Amino acid sequence: MLVLGLLTSALAIYQWMELLTLRAGGATSCGINEHVNCETVWNSDFASAVHDTLGIPIAGLGLVWGLTAVGLAALYLAWAKAGRSVRPAASGLRLLALAGIISVVVFASVSARVGVVCPTCLGTYVLVLAFAGVAWRGLPGPFLPQAGEWGDTLKWTVGLSAVAFVAMLMPGRATPHAPKAGAFLPPVAASQSQTQDTSSATPPAPPPPATLDAFIASLAPDQRQFLSDSLAVYRAAQPKLAAYPPRTLFGPADAPVKVLEWTDSKCPHCKALVEELALIKQHAPKGMLSVEARQFPLDGQCNPAIPNRGPDALSVRCAAARATVCLEGAKDFWTLREKLFAAQAFLDTDKVMEIASSGSVARPQLEACMTAPETIGKLRQDVEYAMRYNIQGTPLVLVNGREVPPSAPLIYALVLASGNPDAPAFSTLPPPRSRGSDEGHEGHAHP
């Protein structure tokens, strides 16, 4: 049981490290395909709710369980060697095993509900079930604590669990949370994305408010505060002239709100922004918005601003960036780009090629374009352009030449205000807070 506790703890640490890699926009070893993918489970609403409520991710809960198992097993061995009664430790191990079984059932049902298999989660389930088998069959004495034993049993079991939980709070709170649907633009984000299966029976959410006053009134207090802060950043920023003309553009060039964004294909916050922008484009008044997309892959193989680590699994970033550049000018550019981000959890080079060649650009043409010097030059132009703004992470967003937080409420509000940051409706927002750091950036452009 001591060994099983150690193995469970080690696997939980590995899962936590993989989660940090995912939150940093990296590729995980268990993001295999659409149906075998830990990332989908870790980004689920349930996993986010656990992290938000308890302050630690599910991997942290696994580590708490594993460390408690190690502590109780060590106490059992120490007490047995000293000739003491091992009943508090034995009963605690059985209660811990029961808690583990309940957790396995809950977490397995979540995986089943989202329709994917999490390989590392399966490893945890096997270890917990083996632990429970030993606890229930291999330990001496009655299954439950007897009269007079509950106090010592709970003292050690709850005490060790509490110590382990408190120890996990600091790294847990430092672990980035999953980008939530609707975190940028409620209630639009709850509606069906245009890249999703339109045959779904789920009815789309109602469109967002069409007036600025109504939109501001629809926001939660924290979102109103964030909009106020973002507007303050926008007003204070000095607009810069465009360094290069756009290669492809959604909307008219003279739109009052011009958005220029740099993204990375594996950056979770970029995915959230792209999805929210797709919804804004659907509902923005005609002629009020233009969007220009540029690339900043976080991979030194194709980005001279990133230290080159040589060929590795992150080459998918370069493939996606080059493919996106090659799709510029295609009639289905925006749709295919959104599909690439929608597949982020299981995106690899094969999936990039499959999606990018599923539209108006044939695969042979795409493959030839991706290795062409012109494409490499365009990608380097995007990187050089972003470096003029001392890019610290993705996404990087400019609105009318001003660097701003990647905030869809800000963009949609400015669209409704015809680009006027001092529209009277904004006077209902709370005063802006002092700007501490750019929220929403991945912060890993220079790992």
Closest CA to 47 of 248, 345, 352, 266: 345
Question: What CATH code is assigned to 212-428?
Answer: 3.40.30.10
* Residue from 88, 89, 90, 118 nearest 104 by CA: 118
pLDDT (0 to 100) of residue 310: 53
Q: Name 18's Cβ contacts closer than 8 Å, sequence gap at least 6.
A: 28, 29, 30, 38, 120
Contact 284, 316 (CB under 8 A): no
Q: Is the pLDDT of residue 40 over 50?
A: yes
3-state class (DSSP) for residue 256 = coil
195 pLDDT band (50/70/90 cuts)?
very low
pLDDT band for position 442 (50/70/90)? very low
Domain with CATH 3.40.30.10 in the chain: 212-428
Q: Which segments of the chain belong to CATH 1.20.1440?
A: 1-174
CATH of 1-174, one of 1.20.120, 2.60.40, 1.20.1440, 3.40.50: 1.20.1440
pLDDT at 132: 95
> Is the CB of residue 324 less than 8 Å from the CB of residue 340?
yes
User: Residue 180 in 3-state DSSP?
Assistant: coil
The answer on pLDDT for 446 being more than 80 is no
Least confident of 201-215, 255-269, 280-294: 201-215
* Alpha helices in 205-314, H assignment, sequence order: 212-218, 221-236, 268-283
Q: Encode pLDDT of 204-218 as tens digits.
A: 556 778 899 999 999
d(CA 224, CA 233): 14
**Contact by Cβ (8 Å): 35, 117:** yes
Is residue 276 helix, strand or coil? helix
